[in-house]
Amino acid sequence: MSIKTRRFIFYSFTLLFLLASVLIIQNSRGFNFDFASFSFNETGGIYISSIPTDAEILLNDAAVKNQSGLLQRGTLITNLVPDVHELLVTREGYRKWKKNPVVLPETVTTFDSVVLVPDISPELFIDQVVSDFSILGDEQIIFQNNNGVWINDEQVLGHRIVDNKRNGIALTKSITTDNYYLVNAFTLQNQLNVTLVFNNLKESVLDLPGEVDLSKAALIGDGREMILSTERAIYYLDTDDLGIDLITSDTNEFSIQEDDLVTYINNEGTVMVYDPKTNNSTTLKFSEETSEFGSYKKIRLSATGTFLLTDNNELYLYSTNLEKIAEDIVDFYLSPGGEQIAMIRGNSSISIYRKKRNETKIIDIGSFEGNFSQLEWYRDYAHLLVRTDNKLYFWEIDKEAPISKELISEDARTFHYDGDADLIYIATSKNLSTFDMSPSL
């Protein structure tokens, strides 16, 4: 080999070494070489965590190793060129999840609440038509049909379900006598005529004679306490200690809030809060600031503050001051804890309001066809169960397109979600069925 050849090989390898060193150093600093523009670009990444955890991940049709395991949750994909990418998560027995994330320089795009919907059909639970039902806990169901109200296979007093607790206690109402009854799934032989107890205590304790009908009732506490209203007043009733209190004679409309607080509006248009633990009513601080609003469609108290929906469909939040959140809102639903609310806009779309510390976000998660009927939060607070007309959807909360909206049932007359069992109960036109979100596949 000649000296000239050896020099050529030496200089070639030296140049390759220098180029490789530059590439390695730049890559370690988060830069990637783009041959299209022949320049170094800052890279980004994607983090993804899914349920089930052992799902297959594909990025731009290339398999990515799932890093989830005993010591790590989720998968971090690094050194991605800033661009629109195609992300796909699959697993046998489940429907696919797709997303087209935009990767930005020096930024990790996060998908930490991916839930794959099982590719199954609802299973039969009760083989008869159910017009309404509620979950009493541990697969205890109270339901009503044309023949009355039933707890599993036992018929109980009343014709309509009014309220219930997850400890097996429920409140029913007779359509023939208008009486309310307190029933317990575990002691069906003891069914209490609430209307009778109320009228007896009203006369003996409050010295208010005369039998009156109850117009509204709601359970609080463990279900043995309740808030009742007549045509002209609101009362507190304790069926265990046989106690009764007159809350107000200004109105008969009330709402049950977190921690069993009761809100109502007095004759002066002031929002009042009644606490059953102290038997006292107090005025909400914002009442003077909102006196020009008139009446409210809905009031909800939470750790974040007080949410108010006015008659002209404006939604406000009062914490340290009064803040208008949105307009054209026909209804809203607080997540447990009150950090998020799902807002129904003009009966055509859904938006999510989030407030953490001083940061506020509103995310539009898409529109729906038909009439909005029902909404419940999924247990991860990153998804919703939404019923429009008779269609039930599992709806993702995310700002990245496309928004996942999986159809669970095309024949859902009403539904309830049991977060502990991760089970959706669906009343169809033919029966009561269940959809298991965490099956053993």
Question: Using alpha carbons only, what angle is made at residue 158 by residues 152 and 159, rounded to the nearest 5 degrees?
Answer: 85
Question: What pLDDT is recorded for position 369?
Answer: 87
pLDDT one digit per residue (tens) for the chain, 441 residues: 566 665 555 455 555 654 544 444 445 444 554 545 555 468 899 999 999 999 999 999 999 999 998 778 899 999 999 999 999 999 999 999 999 999 999 899 999 999 999 999 999 999 999 999 999 987 789 999 999 999 988 999 999 999 999 999 999 999 999 999 999 998 988 899 999 999 999 999 999 999 999 999 999 999 999 999 999 999 999 999 999 999 999 999 999 998 999 999 888 888 899 999 999 999 886 655 655 565 788 999 988 889 999 989 999 998 878 889 999 999 999 998 888 999 999 989 999 999 876 778 999 999 998 999 999 999 999 999 999 999 999 999 998 889 999 999 999 999 999 999 999 999 999 999 999 999 876
Question: What pLDDT is recorded for position 291?
Answer: 55
Q: With helix as H, strand as E and coil as C, how does the chain read?
A: CCHHHHHHHHHHHHHHHHHHHHHHHHHHCCEEEECCCCEEEECEEEEEEEECCCCEEEECCEEECCCCCCCCCCEEEEEECCCECCEEEECCCECCEEECCECCCCCEEEEEEEECCECCCCEEEECCCCCEEEEEECCEEEEEECCEEEECCEEECCCEEEEECCCCEEEEECCCCCCEEEEECCCCCCCEEHHHHHHHHHHHCCCCCCCCCCCEEEEECCCCEEEEECCCCEEEEECCCCEEEEEECCCCCCEECHHHCEEEECCCCCEEEEECCCCEEEECHHHHCCHHHCCEEEEEECCCCEEEEECCCCEEEECCCEEEEECCEEEEEECCCCCEEEEEECCCEEEEEEEECCEEEEEEEEECCCCEEEEEECCCCCEEEEEECCEEEEEECCCCCCCCEEEEECCCCEEEEECCCCEEEEECCCCEEEEECCCCC
Question: What pLDDT is recorded for position 439?
Answer: 84
How far is 409 from 390, CA to CA, in rounded Å? 8
Question: What pLDDT is recorded for position 353?
Answer: 96
How far is 78 from 107, CA to CA, in rounded Å? 10
Question: What pLDDT is recorded for position 5?
Answer: 61
Contact predicate 237/226, CB 8 Å? yes
Task: Scan for tokens 């205890």, then name that residue.
Answer: 140
For 155-189, letters b (16+ CB in 10 Å) and e give ebbbbebbbbbebbbbbbbbeeeebbbbbbbeeee
